[in-house]
Structure 1
Amino acid sequence: MQLTNTEVGMLLIHMGIMRKEIKKALKRNYSFFEAKRQLACYDSIIDLLGRVVDDTKKLCDIEFSDEQKEMLASFIYSYTTIIKQEAGREKIDASDILQAFEKIAARLEGGRHAYAETI
């Protein structure tokens, strides 16, 4: 999957910000070991993005596993829902962020949103 440095940076920042909430949601919705496995997948995405963000190329080729694609698609789906709600409540324009996330989601090739209800 190809992502621009801007997209990688944006994902890295937003996923880092949401890690604590993701951890709580996974603990709440899954067994101890499954939650731990899912959080490890989430962290592996952050680690992978962190390794390529320093690259000087404008486009980064990133190889996500199927599990990572599914987790990332679920994160984007859930997170954009949260952003829309907050933007409506605060009366702010979040269209740039939403468009960027929607572009990334479109490139994930139909990732199922199995974890979307966890956030």
Structure 2
Amino acid sequence: MIVRLKNIDIGVLCLHMSIMRQNVRKGFKRTYGKEEGKKRLTLFDEVKGLLEFELNQLDEGEANKLKQFYFDDNTLMMVSSFLDFYTMKLASTLQQAGKINVEDQGQLDSLHLIKKQLDQLKALHKVD
């Protein structure tokens, strides 16, 4: 499936995937076991690497330019699951901090938009 992301959204997703990589590694190992956890972490790292590559190709002033990514069912589900867990956790953490600044809210909104797009693709292609 083709996922279209603005460059700014690519940056936000890449940043948060990088921040959470160690926690994701532990979570995959705990949830899926050593071997399956490694496979899922490899997929996570491939997506993160693809996003990093695209970020390195950017020119200034291209924040709203769209890039297309092809995600197979497994990739779509992994990124969607990550965002589902992570956005809830991030929103809760920011709320507990007492004050969400404009930049934090912008990043959270960006992650929600990506999640919404992935959910629409899952529904359209009946991916579980």
Q: Pick one of 78, 84, 91 that aligns with 2:98.
A: 91
Q: TM-score, normalised by structure 1?
A: 0.85
Look up the match of 1:77: 84
Question: Partners in 2 of 1:64 and 1:83 — Cα distance?
Answer: 24
Question: Partners in 2 of 1:97 and 1:77 — Cα distance?
Answer: 15
Which 5+ residue runs of structure 1 have no aligned equivalent? 115-119
Q: CA deviation at 1:78?
A: 0.6
Q: CA deviation at 1:95?
A: 2.8
Q: Pick one of 109, 112, 126 that aligns with 1:102.
A: 112
Query: How many equivalent residue pairs?
Result: 113
Q: Secondary structure at the match of 1:30?
A: helix
Look up the match of 1:48: 50
Which range is displaced more, 84-93 or 8-17?
A: 84-93
- List aligned pairs for 1:5-20, cutoff 5 A: 5-20=7-22
Give RMSD over aligned pairs: 1.8
Q: In structure 1, what residue type is equivalent to 2:108? A: L
Where has structure 1 moved over 6 Å in runs of 4 or more?
none
Which 5+ residue runs of structure 2 have no aligned equivalent? none
